Every structure is written in structure tokens, then in C-alpha cells.
Chain A
Amino acid sequence: MSAKVHLHLTLRQHTNSQEVVEAEGATVGECLKDIIKRFPGLESALFDKRGKLNNIVEIYLNLQSAYPDELAKRVKDGDEIHVTLMLAGG
């Protein structure tokens, strides 16, 4: 399966400023692992040392929240994954 992954601005420092990256995988988790292979700097930005998504990271699949169990969500050809970051400032 091939999906488009839209990356939050602060994550694009790891993708040569690319906002949208093509990914292969049957699940959201596989798609993220696929782009990490090409852009290793994303790994620590997305995951903690135990392989859990960082608390600040939010995943949306086809503009719908994928939470909870977001990494296990199935992906179809042409799906759009948005990776955003929680904000707290006011």
C-alpha cells in the first residue's frame, strides 16, 4: 500500500524540508517505519526509546484522528496520513 505522509513543520528538518513524503506499508506504523528508513532523523522525533509514539505526536488518517492504537490502523492505497504535534502555548 502506498500512502502520503504529511509532516508537521518542525519534522521537516529531517526530510530535507519535504512536507509530503510517499510511504509504503499496510499500517500507519509500517508507513512511519518506511519513511524513517529514508529519513532516520525522524525516529527520535516520533518515537521514544521503547518504540512508543512520543506524547506530543498526533496522527490523523484521512483527516480523522487515528488515536488510540494509531500505529495499528490499516492503510489503503492513496490514504493520507498527517503527523502533527500537540501545542500548549497561549
Chain B
Amino acid sequence: MLSDQELTRYDRQIMIPGIGKEGQEKLKSAKVFVAGAGGLGSPVSIYLAAAGVGSLRIVDHDRVELSNLNRQVLHWEEDLQKEKVLSAQDKLRKLNRHVDVETMNKTITEENIQDLLKGCHAIVDAMDNLPTRYILNKAALDKGIPFFHGAVRAFEGRMMTVAPGDSACLRCLYHGPVAQEKFPVIGVTPAVVGCIQATEVIKYLVGIGELLLNRLLIYDGLSMKFTEFKVKKNPKCDHCGEKRERIIS
């Protein structure tokens, strides 16, 4: 049930056809898992909190460093050396006291992911490395909840939404292990990508619009182009395929 204050707070989005009070209630009753409180996790969690998603569970194992501040807008100079999840929680609570912000200062692993996800209705991929993205992708498939993928490099980003059973998953595109790098990035790129991820989450929770299923959206900030590529389920995908093949990763 929305309070009078909440009805006022969310008035402009309740006016949107397809959201209304019912959609706002759906947002309020949702719990979203945000994996990462960095460049992508910042805009994702800010906009989900602003929209009134009732509960966010944010997981990250890092502390705030000076070199994070060009893009990780949840963290400020005063937060240097703080746990990122606590810095994020502090800002998000100030933004919207109606949102429950749970934090876990942990490394996501194959062993702990099911425990970390308990009670969550959706997973946002705001990680900075592929191995953890695949752990999240697999966990989403196993749990039957959607997975909202986003990744960035320099002025470029990509987004895709995974609905278990109904769409290609992130692993369907897997070619093999890729070396980790210290990646270049400017803050506006994760801002764009994170906002699109948050848009997808909101649409999914409310039940409106068309999700980025079987569609990989690539953003090129330098040429200011969005290109959409069709992707399809890989029958041999070792995460979701019917004829799964083991891939060494």
C-alpha cells in the first residue's frame, strides 16, 4: 500500500500509462540484486531507488579509491577508503528513505551466489569482469529470475536482458576465456548503459514495454549511435542449452 507521501513522490511516473498505482505497488514490493557498486551500479541503483523499487541488495567487495570518482557517482571524495556498499547505502538512503538498501561487502562466487540471491526478484549485472558475470548469468537461469546485463569500455557499452527459458543468455555468446584488463572508461558511458539497465528492470517489474530479449544493444558514444544485433539461444550453450557442452573457462 502506498502512503500519501509516496503517492505524491511518484506522482509523475504514476501518471504514465501502464504504470499507475498498480505498477508503483509492484515496484515497491520488488527486491533487486545489484551486483557491483561501481560505474554501472551507481546509476542503476540511483535510478531504481528514485523510482521507488522497494528493496535493493547491493553486493561489492571493494573500497572507494580516488580513481573511481570519474564514473562511480555514488561515491564522493569524503568516501575514500570506505566500503563501497556502505558509501552507496548512505547516498541511497538520503535519496529515498522509503527504499530498503541491504548491503553485503562480499566477493560473489559460485559457492555463495545462491545465498546472496535469496528473496531477490531480478539480478542487475554491474560487474567489472566476465567470470563473475557468468556466475550471475548461471544463477539467474537456475533461479528462474531475469538478468540485466551491461558492460562498458571507453565510450562504448552494451546491454542485453535475459529471461530464463525465453531468450538467449549471456553465455550463449561465449567464445572462451578473455584476459582481464584495466579498462579505460569515461563516466558518461556507464551512466548511459546503467540507465538503460535500470529502465529494463523497471519495465520488467511493472510488466510493460518490450525487453531487450534476444537483442544485444551496442552504444557507441563517439559516433553517438545505437546498434541492435539479434542474438539467439545457442543449443550447445553450457548454461541454458538443450545439448549443453562443457566449456573450460
Contacts and interface: CB of A to CB of B under 8 A. Distances in A.
Contacts of A58: 173, 175
Given A89-B185, A90-B40, A63 B157 contact: no
Contacts of A65: 173, 216, 229-232
Nearest to A57: B175
Interface of A: 9, 53, 55-58, 60, 63-65, 67-68, 82, 84, 86-90
Interface stretch (B22-30, B103-111, B127-135): B127-135
Contact of A87 (B156, B231, B234): B156
Interface stretch (B10-18, B49-57, B76-84, B147-155): B147-155
Interface in B213-249: 216, 218, 220, 222, 227-232, 234, 236
Interface residues of B, number: 41
B156 A64 contact: no
A82 B175 contact: no
Contacts, number: 79
Nearest to A63: B229
Contact of A90 (B151, B218, B220): B151
Interface in B1-59: 36, 38-41
Contacts of B230: 63-65
Given A64-B230, A65-B230, A68-B234, A87 B151 contact: yes
